[in-house]
Chains A and B, each alone.
Chain A
């Protein structure tokens, strides 16, 4: 236990800062909370702007996309503590890595962990963002209860024939590949009849219907499968062992997201302090106390992150991820509430010219409502924590 950062970590921070100085495009420096950076067409369907694609590739090529990975996967073999330095530097400057997290945070790690040699070769492009991925898990009848999913895949010769529907599939209209969970054995116990397939989005019979979210933009979609034929070689991992991959996929999603989550909270605090000053509220003891309360929580979580990160950093399905996910997602929401409250009667104003930071907090408000839903709701995370961290008995 010691406070000072190691010389290696300091050197790492300096190298990163130099890289950003030299390569980071102005568009990437402007984005707050990584939101409102994707563009939406007249139909509301979002797209990934050109600069964001180039930026992700640039990060990958220089070993700054997922620092913990080796260079061929877009990293620089960073240690866990260096990875934390990375998130703090990036988020502190408001620089996003990517505008679509499924490829580098879910598909990439799953392919690397469970894929055949050939499938593993898809990982670099997923992480570099050359291939956009979506994750087909949720269905209309299977959200929190993912194991009840009913999209069917039947083996016919050397193909699987897929029928069913996915919903709320982020980036499905932009993706060229889907990591899709299907039922391959309807007679087995629920968790033992699920498999993961890699499905090309342009396969005949696959239809994507963009679904507008509450912002009015379509960032997710419904995906319909009608006799979609998928080569048997696209099975990821073992047949009927897909549940292990879903657990892995959710953990990958969480492990990345929570660390970034803490860093986003830290940045929000800094910005809230600045806003309070701008609005002449910095002498108000009530405001000071509310900011301080949330600051204390952010710092506590940050310290907890450093404490725990080394042990549960590299993927895996550590239930501690759930703890951090709940804590950071709910904290983000409270920070946004405070930021809105600081704006008084203008708290609902979204007009870029008439609101703090161009309406950033109002957009954040809409966005972070999803933080306690996507990737497993807070309630379900609490169940996981209760049973797997605290060791409480299962309910009926």
Chain B
């Protein structure tokens, strides 16, 4: 197992880092919270071209998504990327922005028939919808224009990535997808989501450590109090472990390794739990300052919880893992 980055991978990471630092500043999050349209230029001018990563090695995509999560980037990129990855086995490709309509009310990406799909990210900003139907054994997919669907926004904690219920009057006839290829694509989507959670957790941890060094009370930096140090250390332990688990899962999926089923559930569960926990620690460390809207902390806190929920929360993935472990 080699976790070191190649020169190209280091490029992906640092390019992504400066891209988000430059194009997705704190002010954009505030603006997009008040009005989703504020996020449009980020997609129109920068992120659309990165959807190509849907075809790249998952380890590379994980690096990009870490930076995306760090920035708590708003807008349709996440949904478009997920649509492109899931559609990859079929050759279907959206011309512009897109989203994925696969989940039922339970949020799980298990294909099923019927006229409604739930937990559909950023549908209001997507040009097309990848409509998934059928079953796990015989999935089908079709791309439909968003204009042909009825969208209902369902408010949730993370307003920077709105969720929708999507209904079609007459579901389209989809192309059959090889179930193994579908399962592989869903694994990619899970690891992508987990990688974003790690990036969000990373921002929360780093920002908290910085704040603990700067903020003084009782004549010393609050970071010098052992009570606070231990909280931050615990957060770092959680996050580092989860981060490595996500990279490991990405390598497993890329290599089509037999451990990949377990590794993917480990990654999504660990990333969700870590991001949620680190978010709570960050709030506690920032105290009054972190509880104000103007501080960017709550955007990540919201993303951490919403990201854990997306494609099934950590509890679900642990249950699945339990089944895998005990079924031989």
Contacts and interface: CB of A to CB of B under 8 A. Distances in A.
Given A145-B217, A167-B288, A216-B293, A345 B305 contact: no
B15 interface: no
B135 interface: no
A349 B158 CA distance: 9
A392 interface: no
B107 A345 contact: yes
B315 interface: yes
B292 A212 contact: yes
Contact of B155 (A212, A213, A350, A369): A350
B13 interface: no
Interface stretch (B51-59, B247-255, B306-314): B306-314
A348 B157 contact: yes
A345 B106 contact: yes
B149 interface: no
A377 interface: yes
A36 B189 CA distance: 36
A370 B316 CA distance: 28
Interface in A133-151: 138, 142-145, 148
Contacts of B284: 372-373, 377-379
A383 interface: yes
Contact of A377 (B287, B297, B310): B287
A347 B309 contact: yes
Interface in A336-392: 337, 340-341, 344-351, 354, 359, 362, 365, 369-370, 372-373, 377-379, 382-383
Contacts of B311: 345
B264 to A, nearest CB: 17
B323 to A, nearest CB: 13
A345 B157 CA distance: 12
A101 interface: no
B142 to A, nearest CB: 24
Contact of A349 (B156, B290, B302): B156
Interface string B128-156: 00000000000000000000000000111
Given A340-B305, A341-B313, A346 B227 contact: no
Interface residues of A, number: 39
Interface in B32-59: 33
Nearest to B103: A345
Contacts of A347: 305, 308-309, 313
A381 B154 CA distance: 39
B292 A214 contact: yes
Given A347-B308, A377-B287, A369 B280 contact: yes
A346 B309 contact: yes
A168 interface: yes
B103 A373 contact: no
Nearest to B119: A345
B228 interface: yes
A72 B249 CA distance: 68
A244 B42 CA distance: 54
A341 B314 CA distance: 9
A144 B312 CA distance: 39
A351 B153 CA distance: 9
Interface of A: 138, 142-145, 148, 167-168, 211-216, 333, 337, 340-341, 344-351, 354, 359, 362, 365, 369-370, 372-373, 377-379, 382-383
14 contacts: A144-B218, A168-B288, A213-B291, A341-B315, A347-B313, A348-B306, A348-B309, A350-B155, A359-B155, A369-B301, A372-B284, A377-B287, A379-B225, A383-B227
Question: Which 6 pairs of residues, A with B, have the shortest CB-CB distance?
Answer: A345-B107, A212-B293, A214-B298, A145-B217, A348-B306, A351-B155
Given A345-B313, A348-B305, 5 more contacts: A145-B218, A345-B310, A350-B156, A365-B157, A373-B283
